[in-house]
Amino acid sequence: MALVALAPARAEAGAWTEPQGQGLVIETLWGWQGDGAPWGDNPGVKQNRADLQTYAEYGLNDQWTIFGQMAIERYELSRPESSLYAGLDYSDLGLTAKLWSTGPWVFSGQATLFLPGAWNPASPAQAGNTGGAAEARALAGLNFNLGPAQGFLDLELGYRVRTAGPPDEWHADATLGLKPAPGVILMLQDFAVVSMPSTDRSFPAWRQNVVQGSLVLPVWDRWQLQISYYQTTLAYKTNTERGVAIAVWRTF
């Protein structure tokens, strides 16, 4: 039950490390529409975004898993801040280390480096996404049985250091999964972000919570298909999101 689906714009290994010499590749196409946060007397601008993302993880040994992702994005803002960016999204590279396991529980630590693809901070569609970032994360995973079905719970807490304007962020993610049939996984995920205080009027303190539901189906041999819907449940001084994602998984 070590496979944990990826939230849009996030690519992170779960608490379980991959066995040595084994790995996972996920190709994801996702998109959303939403509203930006109101600013002054102006209403929030309409926004839409689509990404094509490649994520991979590989077990160096039973204790260490390396992972990374790259993506191409298209991000558009409506009037009065009409702006369009099409290019590379953040790329990241990280390591997950299994620290301790006991019975159905596993505890891990994770470090990730984020490299920006955007380059023009003066463009509204790129503002806040031109600086690098780094994150440290603690993870806990639990395997359990619910009647004849297998299940898992993944809990993660991370602190992300950001540059080029935006304040640092706390990230808290949770995934509840259930496997009712071979190769079939039902997942409910919650992704929360709370920024640190900020005195920068261009990048104020913000917070957001996104909930995602997913269905993963077996396709053939080591291939699986994921279909997801996600929606913002809380947005303070940031945009809302309503979107879908389609992903293809390949284990090796």
Q: Concatenated DSSP letters for 154-207?
A: EEEEEEEEE-SSPPPEEEEEEEEEEEEETTEEEEEEEEEEEEPP---TTS---E
- Which two three-digit tokens encode residue 235? 């947005």
| pLDDT on residue 79 | 83
| pLDDT on residue 89 | 96
Q: How confident is the model at residue 44 (pLDDT cuts 50, 70, 90)?
A: confident
Q: Say which CATH number the domain at 201 has.
A: 2.40.128.130
| pLDDT on residue 2 | 40
Domain holding 68, by residue range, is: 23-251
| pLDDT on residue 176 | 96
Task: Dump pLDDT digits (tens) for 109-123.
Answer: 999 999 999 999 999
Whether residue 43 is preceded by a cis peptide bond, meaning omega within 30 degrees of 0, is: no
Residue 9 resides in a domain: no
Residue 11 resides in a domain: no
Query: For the chain, what percent of residues have pLDDT higher than 70?
Result: 92
Q: How confident is the model at residue 41 (pLDDT cuts 50, 70, 90)?
A: low
Give the count of domains, the chain: 1
